[in-house]
Amino acid sequence: MNISNFIELINAQVLNYGATSSVYDFGIDLNKIKQASVFFAKNQEQANYAVKLGVYVIVSEEKLKLEDKEVFYLQVDNLEEAIFRLFRFFCEEKSYEFLYCNNIELKFAKAFNFKILNSNILLDFDLLKNSKEKTFFCSSDENFILKLKSNFHTLKSCEYEILGYKSLFQTSVLCKNLYFKELKFAFFYVDIFTSFIDFIEEQKLPFSFNDKKLELFKAYFLNSKNEICVFGGSSRVILLVENEEDFDFIVQKLQNTKDFKIALRNSLFCDFSYSHLKELKKFTDFKYCLIKENQEDFVSYFFPKKIENSLFD
């Protein structure tokens, strides 16, 4: 990129005019920076080190001391905003597309192999810079997307038919004349799955789906002692999530299901309130029980305890 165009693009003030007219790369990580590139520096120390690595342009919010008169030193009001300006240009030049997803849809986007953004320009820097033309990116932050492009796509509902009984552990579905057999997710996620199928077909994108990448709820079968047992070893199941959004989503989908109960710590808005896992362990009046707990804590408490033999046994 021509440096004069770059200066105008990021709305920078020139502190020092360097000796070159073009740059060929951009970076924020000193471990990945290349020669003849632009480096966005947070401080004088980073800038000095980048100059030694051979960068042609330093961009910073600070008014830096000039260590090399052959290097362009540029000052901007806000470093992140300058990076956004650069990538807004990149997104147009490389014909990037963006799909807004809520956090649960985002889990399916990952399984469909879409590029998932952190919605933080510093964390997403390399992904945005290095992706191919016409890449689709997914984000759960509308404002972040709109800083990169003036428009974005959303998912819409699609007709489908669930084949067989409605299961919490696998789903077979017919959609767009395509048969998807024994997908490893609960029936109430089918709306999201089929909306992606419709979107992929509409955009003529390559199809790929890996349900092993899904991170939805964890299911734990419990025996008569309320200890975790093998899959199918009991008729009672704990459904565990670790955040409020997943919890509320499943409650909405299963609230009218027979023998479905909710357990929460210190709450009046549930079927069983508890303050400690030992109280939850006494609760048996359910077929399916949804809880919001740290997975590691739950497993360590509900996993069968091994009895160690003493020296005299």
Query: What digits encode the pLDDT tens for the residues 231-245?
Result: 766 779 999 999 999
Backbone torsions φ then ψ of 34, nearest 5 degrees: -110, 160
Bridge-partner residues for 163, per DSSP?
172
Residue-range domain boundaries for the chain: 3-76, 94-213, 218-302
Per residue in 61-76, pLDDT tens?
A: 999 999 999 999 999 9
* Contact criterion met (CB below 8 Å) for 298 and 277: yes
Dihedral of CA 33/34/35/38: which sign? negative
CATH topology for the 3-76 domain:
3.40.1390
Burial class (CB within 10 angstroms; exposed 0-12, middle 13-18, buried 19+) of 271: middle
Using CA atoms, how far residue 130 sits from 115, 125, 179, 285, in Å, is 12, 9, 35, 53
Express each pLDDT in 192-231 by its tens digit: 999 999 999 999 999 999 999 999 999 999 988 889 998 7
In angstroms, the CA 122 to CA 144 distance is 12
Residue 306 pLDDT grade (very low, low, confident, very high; cuts 50, 70, 90)? low
98 strand-pairing partners: 137
**pTM (2 d.p.):** 0.89
**pLDDT, greater one: 308 or 151:** 151
Task: Compute how many other C-beta atoms are within 10 angstroms of the C-beta atom of residue 297.
Answer: 10
